[in-house]
Structure 1
Amino acid sequence: MKVLIRNGDSFWYYSQLFKVPLQLILDSNKSLDPTNLQIGIEIEIPGFEMMEYKVKFGDTFWKLAKSIAILPDGLSLMNPDVDPEHLAVDEIINIPTRIISPIVNANRPYDYQMMMDDIKKLHAIYPFIRCEVIGNSVLGNNIPEIQIGSGAKVVHINGSFHANEWITTNVIMKFLNDYLLALTNMSPIRGMSIQPFYFDTMLSIVPMVNPDGVDLVLNGPPEHEPHKSKVVEINEGSLHFQNWKANIRGVDLNNQFPAKWEIEKERKLPKSPSPRDYPGDAPLTEPEVNAMVKLTKERKFTRVLAFHTQGEEIYWGYEGLEPPNSQLIVNEFSRVSGYKAVRYVDSHAGYKDWFIQEWQQPGFTIELGEGVNPLPLTQFNEIYQESLGILLAGIYM
């Protein structure tokens, strides 16, 4: 919500007026000097939207302000040309309305455009979040990263490396929305205050690593050639893509990292582009993978949580390179989710493997839910509750 600075106003005053943490207002207006605010400058108040309201008989600024839990001066700020002592019935005034419900509808087939639309809406309501494009997919789709907070601990979360595991994006986007609501409304999640995390932790979130693949599974082949014909050819002529894990070129993005990639190349059955498991002709051939490599090198993550489906297991080791605190963290993940912690599996070339190999920091592959991919949305609420404990533990530990 945008407001205009008046004489004597300050960011601190706005935080008291709207009951929003001061740091969120500061971070929503980083281009401005809080000690030198000019009258008439437009600033952002996070967690609110402006709504029009038709005055009813008996309405006063005091009564209206009380009904929306702000100070009456908040209405004066939004309505500088309105005489608060003489409100006219049917007069239209602006009401600052606190956002208390999610805008992300995650319990539905959730494709790339839906995600991008929701990120745009979230950024408008919560301008303290930072949105960056970390790279592009084969089809040229932007791969977004959302950052929240400014702490020294940098926790990375990603989903939808695999196309038919798109429900992981739904989980991440719902958590993002719930986290933002908790911050601006100073409300707890599972009894935990979220405010300290904002100062302690910087969250880096890439909710959809493989946008082309997700859209292929949910919406069918792309419109344009040569990719339209090629994916049908790779899929052996079938127009049903529910089993497709790879990117649009038929390369498994989670078999593309230089962590004993040669072993996977040798033993994987697909020796050419395939709906699943083909590791490519070399590591790091795919733009989506290179975007993740570049991001990881730049951010220097403290830990990473890569969400996949299915199996209700958490893989946390690689070649003995994982640090000792990985076991403490995964034990907590297991406790809050009921998932089984698995230290080693006979697998290489995944993002988690490469991260542990290169940085010796905690990395986790979290296999949500049980069944056959893509998991049905009937499991979503249960999966989200299991994931929520892991996400919170990934931040507070």
Structure 2
Amino acid sequence: MHRIFICILGLCLLFVSPVQGKTEKIVQTSQIYTYEKMLKDLYLLSEKYPNFIEYKTIGKSTLGKEIPAIKLGAGKQHVLFVGSHHGREWLTSTLLMKMIESYSEAYYQHTKVGQFDPRILDEVSIWFVPMLNPDGVDIQQKGMLAFPLIHQQLLLEMNGNDLNFKKWKANGIGIDLNRQYPAGWKEIKGDHPFQSYQYYKGTQPLEAVEVNALVRFILEEDPLISVAYHSAGRVIYWAYKNDKNNVNRDKAIASKLSTLTGYSLAKPPKTAVGGGLTDWFITHYKRPAYTIEIGYRVKETNLPLSIFPEVWKRNNGVGLMIAEQAKVIKPLN
């Protein structure tokens, strides 16, 4: 009888505990990662790690999709990671969702992610906004036929009357979200003069509701470091009018990122003279911010799924490393 009880208890623990044994991963990285898949995965992860993952909506996209933010850890200080400013760069959403799952699992199982201990999240939490531009991702992945007829003609015009939407970067009404932040916005040159699939900065900064929502969220949460993930170049951008007293600090963290990922440090191209999240965060807070480009340059389309294992190998520890580095940054309050 005693043996039977022990067997039953063991089975119960196996099913009750979300962290014992090998289980199938929730975030699947070998498939096109849609907005709907992300929402489903966030629900499942929140159910699996209810005392570790905090979920909130920071706003809605132009076409009405909720923009989720996820916090890992109980640390009073925060760092921020943002993916999919651009529609065709949705592999960055896959990457951040994989981080969320891997860090949660490692924390519960008391294991490390590479060289990094997830217990840092007891001191510094990570806020993730995995998909800032869900409309742009939808347009790029599904094309205009996935949208109401009344919006299809506008999409076609913004795409240069091209039925191939794989090149789409902008939000749902043709504004490039990474040209919408106040720092350097007026200096942006060579952009499209009207709504387009890419490079239209809008009529004023913070015009796009997605960026407006993110900036309000940042001002509320006061993160110590910001990281924006993009797709093209395998480089790290870290410099934009950095305060001279902070240059050495900011570059030192950038160098550690470079060592960890194997990506080179770079100066922004002439076409990226301002208007980005990294630009605004550096100038507004005088704190470190980084734009990490995860893949090789492709023509106007998304990175192939086949590159993800390499991307993950390079980046799996970045979130925890940034959380560790945040301990040297002084908050405003």
Please give the TM-score of this superposition, normalised by the length of structure 1: 0.75
The corresponding residue for 1:110 is 33
User: Is the Cα–Cα contact under 8 Å of residues 242 and 282 in structure 2 kept in the other structure?
Assistant: no
> Aligned pair 1:61/2:36, yes or no?
no
Q: Bigger CA drift: 140-149 or 97-106?
A: 97-106
Question: Quick one: which amino acid aligns to residue 217 of structure 1?
Answer: Q
Find the aligned partners of 1:297 and 1:226 in 2 and give their Cα distance. 36
Shift of the alpha carbon at 1:335?
Answer: 0.4
Alignment partner, residue 202 of structure 1: 125
Aligned partner of 2:137 in structure 1 is 214
- The whole-number CA distance in structure 2 between the counterparts of 1:217 and 1:65 is 49
Change (3 A) 1:390 1:298: same
Q: 1:381 aligns with which of 297, 309, 313?
A: 309
Query: SS in structure 1 opposite 2:275?
Result: coil
Answer yes or no: is the 8 Å Cα contact 1:333–1:389 preserved in 2: no
Q: For the structure 1 residues 304 and 269, does the alpha-carbon distance in structure 2 shift closer, same or farther, using more than 3 Å as the test?
A: closer
Whether 1:278 aligns to 2:206 is no
8 Å Cα contact 1:268/1:278 also seen in 2: no
TM-score by length of 2: 0.89
Compute the displacement of 1:199 (Å).
1.1
Aligned to 2:230, what secondary structure does the other structure show?
strand
2: distance between equivalents of 1:359 and 1:198?
Answer: 22
Deviation at 1:378, TM superposition (A): 0.8
Contact 1:306 1:352 in 2 (8 A): yes
**Residues 1-397 of structure 1: matches in 2 within 5 Å?**
60-65=4-9, 95-99=15-19, 100-101=22-23, 102-128=25-51, 129-194=53-118, 196-221=119-144, 222-264=146-188, 267-321=189-243, 323=246, 324-343=248-267, 345-346=269-270, 347-372=273-298, 373-397=301-325
- 1:343/1:325 CA distance change after superposition, 3 Å: farther
Give the residue type in structure 2 aligned to 1:388: N
How many matched pairs?
314
Secondary structure of the equivalent of 2:316?
helix
Instruction: Name the SS for the 2:16 alignment partner.
Output: strand
Q: Is the 8 A contact 1:216 1:241 kept in 2?
A: yes
Residue by residue, what CA displacement relative to the aligned partner does 1:151-194 show, whole Å, maximum 9, x if unpaired?
A: 23311001000100010000010111011111112222114332
Aligned CA RMSD, in angstroms, stands at: 2.0
Q: Structure 1 residues 345, 233: CA separation in 2 closer, same or farther (over 3 Å shift)?
A: closer
Percent sequence identity over aligned pairs: 32
CA shift in 2, pair 1:344/1:319, >3 Å:
farther
Gaps of 5+ in 2: 326-333
Q: Deviations over 1:230-249 (max 9, x none)?
A: 10121122221111110011
Measured in 1, the distance between the counterparts of 2:65 and 2:179 equals: 21
Letter in 1 for 2:187: I
Asked if the contact 1:138/1:286 (under 8 Å) is kept, the reply is yes
CA distance in 2, matches of 1:201, 1:97: 25
Residue 60 of structure 1 aligns to a residue in which SS? helix
Partner of 2:331: none
Q: 160-169 vs 367-376, which deviates more? A: 367-376
CA contact (8 A) 2:126 2:319 kept: no
Change (3 A) 1:390 1:95: closer
The structure, 1 or 2, with the larger RCO (C-alpha pairs under 8 Å, 6+ apart) is 2
- Name whichever structure is richer in helix by fraction: 2
